């Protein structure tokens, strides 16, 4: 079976969030299970592509309406990723060091057309095309509807929804940019009088998956306008929990962290990483260290953080460190909190892969007060590094964290509210003070297996059901 994953992000090449982590790990694990799993993504001019070498496999031109752009298909030389990777290079549109921007409709539509133009030329076509999120959501539509891709219409397509908040909407003015199809079927592109690539993919893909079972159920009630569509298509929808790449996220071998450790050396290992963080960010290392790592947006409950931190820190029993960026008002509120809680609070506004690893390793607790959480990878990384999750009971968090009061190992709160969140944080402080219980919990979570093995197999079984 030859599976082609198509995505805007893939770790370690280009990462904005969890999408990259999934696309950088799932194919690798699938390849250990007798499949040939490959990735196709845009060629960005970023740190990774500048550092590595590539071979050109194919050259042509791609049309977007009346415009024509030269493009190349490249592959990585000395590839150690664990899967084959192909890039669509369109210098005029994709040679950026960012992944997303305001002209994404044109950038990603051209990428998708070039991708399909190239697939048409392949002698050995993929047996499954697996599309990730709305950026590549027009692929299942074009494969089944565009005259030019008629030869691809019997290849099964799978759409995975990593985040349904973003749907890639664009106006009908750009309709002519989509390769010619029978206008009778234009409704397949439509949702609420706009072209909606995510909706089109839900309608046209052979199967639709979400990144956790709970998120699938939640989307039928609240999906930024697509609820009724998901209810209608529910027979082809299934939630499959993400795994984590246990080679990248392993405290025993992680080259980013200050000191490596296993369960038997967790005490000293975490202490060294915590000390590093406390020294660098002027925090009290005697107190439990709570961290937040993520996008500062409403979905992550980011606007709760400044006030909740303030209330927690007033009691002078904790230290808090935040890494993230997003909403500028929230960033500002988080920054000014530094003066008020000098010595127990700090924030790093920005994106820093290395620092995030040290934070998973050095923290005592990881916070995720998310309003929406399709799967959430942070809590699974935290578990592996012996960091106790304090999370809202939603989506993938609900599927992966059990409250300590219910024979579990984490702290859950129900509401997206400052009071609920602060109550949960204080439960964390109490747990930290109960040294025996705290250490026992920390050791037990490091043993939880969230590797991709099981989910990779579930996806393969799903593909097999489509290829019969
Ligand atoms: P998202 O909704 O952002 O995709 P996930 O939990 O699925 O959330 O994945 C987030 C990923 O991005 C994790 O690997 C996390 O460590 C990483 N991440 C998020 N923000 C930052 C940041 N500011 N610096 C470094 N890594 C970050």
pLDDT digits (tens, 9 = 90+) for 10-48: 999 999 999 999 999 999 999 999 999 999 999 999 999
Mutating to test ligand 1, I would choose from 377, 380, 387, 399 the residue with most ligand atoms within 8 A of its C-beta, which is 377
pLDDT value at residue 331: 98
**Average pLDDT value for the chain:** 97
User: What average pLDDT does this structure show over 368-372?
Assistant: 97
Residue 113 binned pLDDT confidence (cut-offs 50, 70, 90): very high
Domain extents in the chain: 2-243+452-465, 266-445
Position 169 pLDDT exceeds 80: yes
Determine the distance separating the centroid of ligand 1 and the alpha carbon of 356, expressed in angstroms: 9
**What are the two backbone dihedrals, phi and then psi, of residue 99, each rounded to the nearest 5 degrees?**
-95, -50
Position 468 pLDDT exceeds 90: no
What is the dotted CATH code of the domain comprising 266-445?
A: 3.40.50.2000
Q: In what order do the strands lie in the sheet with 84-89?
A: 54-64, 67-76, 84-89, 36-42, 2-6, 128-132, 157-161, 207-210, 237-239
Determine the distance separating the centroid of ligand 1 and the alpha carbon of 275, expressed in angstroms: 23
- Same fold flag, 2-243+452-465 and 266-445: yes
Look at residue 20 and give its three-state secondary structure: helix
Determine the distance separating the centroid of ligand 1 and the alpha carbon of 439, expressed in angstroms: 26
User: What average pLDDT does this structure show over 393-402?
Assistant: 97
pLDDT value at residue 467: 84
Nearest to 428 by CA among 264, 284, 255, 291: 291
- 379 CA: nearest ligand 1 atom: 6
pLDDT value at residue 355: 98
pLDDT value at residue 172: 96
User: What average pLDDT does this structure show over 197-213?
Assistant: 98
User: What average pLDDT does this structure show over 376-382?
Assistant: 97
User: What average pLDDT does this structure show over 436-457?
Assistant: 96
User: What average pLDDT does this structure show over 104-109?
Assistant: 97
Q: Output the CA–CA distances (angstroms, integers) from residue 40 to 14, 74, 356, 396, in the order listed.
A: 12, 10, 27, 26
The residue behind tokens 């027009």 is 138
Residues framing ligand 1 (Cβ under 6 A): 17-19, 21, 293-295, 323-325, 351-353, 356, 375-378
User: What average pLDDT does this structure show over 157-182?
Assistant: 97
pLDDT digits (tens, 9 = 90+) for 268-311: 999 999 999 999 999 999 999 999 999 999 999 999 999 999 99
Residue 196 binned pLDDT confidence (cut-offs 50, 70, 90): very high
**What are the two backbone dihedrals, phi and then psi, of residue 127, each rounded to the nearest 5 degrees?**
-90, -20
Which superfamily does CATH assign the domain made up of 2-243+452-465 to?
Glycogen Phosphorylase B; (3.40.50.2000)
CA-CA distance, 386 to 264, in Å (whole number)? 11
Torsion of CA 106, 111, 112, 113, to 10 degrees: 90
Determine the distance separating the centroid of ligand 1 and the alpha carbon of 19, expressed in angstroms: 9
What beta strand segments (E) does 201-241 contain?
207-210, 237-239
């Amino acid at each position: 079976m030859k599976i082609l994953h198509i995505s805007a992000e893939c770790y370690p090449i280009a990462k904005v969030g969890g999408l990259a982590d999934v696309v950088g790990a799932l194919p690798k694990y699938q390849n250990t299970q007798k499949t040939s799993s490959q990735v196709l993504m845009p060629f960005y001019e970023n740190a990774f592509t500048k550092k590595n070498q590539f071979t050109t496999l194919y050259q042509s031109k791609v049309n977007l309406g009346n415009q024509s752009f030269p493009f190349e298909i490249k592959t990585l030389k000395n590839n150690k990723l664990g899967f084959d990777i192909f890039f669509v290079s369109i210098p005029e549109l994709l040679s950026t060091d960012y992944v997303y921007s305001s002209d994404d409709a044109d950038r990603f539509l051209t990428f998708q057309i070039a991708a399909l133009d190239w697939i048409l030329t392949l002698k050995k076509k993929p047996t499954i095309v697996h599309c990730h999120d709305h950026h590549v959501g027009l692929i299942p539509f074009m494969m089944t509807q565009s005259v030019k891709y008629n030869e691809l219409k019997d290849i099964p397509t799978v759409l995975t929804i990593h985040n349904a908040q973003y749907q890639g909407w664009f106006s009908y003015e750009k309709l002519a940019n989509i390769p010619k199809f029978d206008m009778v079927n234009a409704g397949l592109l439509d949702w609420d009088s706009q072209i909606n690539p995510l909706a089109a993919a839900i309608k046209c893909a052979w199967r639709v998956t979400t990144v956790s079972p709970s998120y699938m159920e939640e989307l039928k009630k609240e999906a930024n306008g697509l609820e009724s569509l998901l209810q209608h298509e529910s027979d082809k929808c299934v939630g499959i929990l993400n795994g984590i790449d246990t080679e990248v996220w392993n405290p025993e071998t992680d080259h980013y962290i200050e000191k490596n450790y296993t369960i038997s050396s967790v005490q000293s290992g975490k202490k060294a990483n915590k000390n590093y963080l406390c020294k660098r960010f002027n925090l009290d290392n005697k107190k439990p260290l709570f961290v937040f790592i993520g996008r500062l947006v409403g979905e992550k409950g980011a606007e709760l953080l400044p006030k909740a931190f303030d209330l927690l820190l007033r009691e002078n029993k904790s230290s808090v460190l935040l890494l993230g960026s997003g909403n500028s008002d929230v960033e500002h509120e988080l920054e000014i909190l530094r003066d008020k809680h000098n010595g127990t609070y700090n924030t790093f506004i920005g994106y820093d892969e290395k620092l995030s690893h040290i934070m998973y390793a050095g923290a005592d607790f990881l916070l995720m007060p998310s309003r929406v959480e399709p799967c959430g990878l942070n809590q699974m990384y935290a578990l592996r590094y012996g960091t106790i999750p304090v999370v809202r009971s939603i989506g993938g968090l609900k599927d992966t964290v059990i409250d300590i009061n219910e024979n579990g190992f984490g702290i859950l709160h129900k509401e997206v509210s400052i009071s609920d969140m602060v109550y949960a944080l204080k439960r964390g402080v109490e747990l930290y003070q109960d040294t025996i219980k705290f250490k026992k919990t920390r050791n037990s979570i490091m043993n939880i297996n969230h590797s991709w093995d099981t989910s990779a197999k579930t996806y393969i079984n799903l593909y097999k059901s489509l290829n019969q």
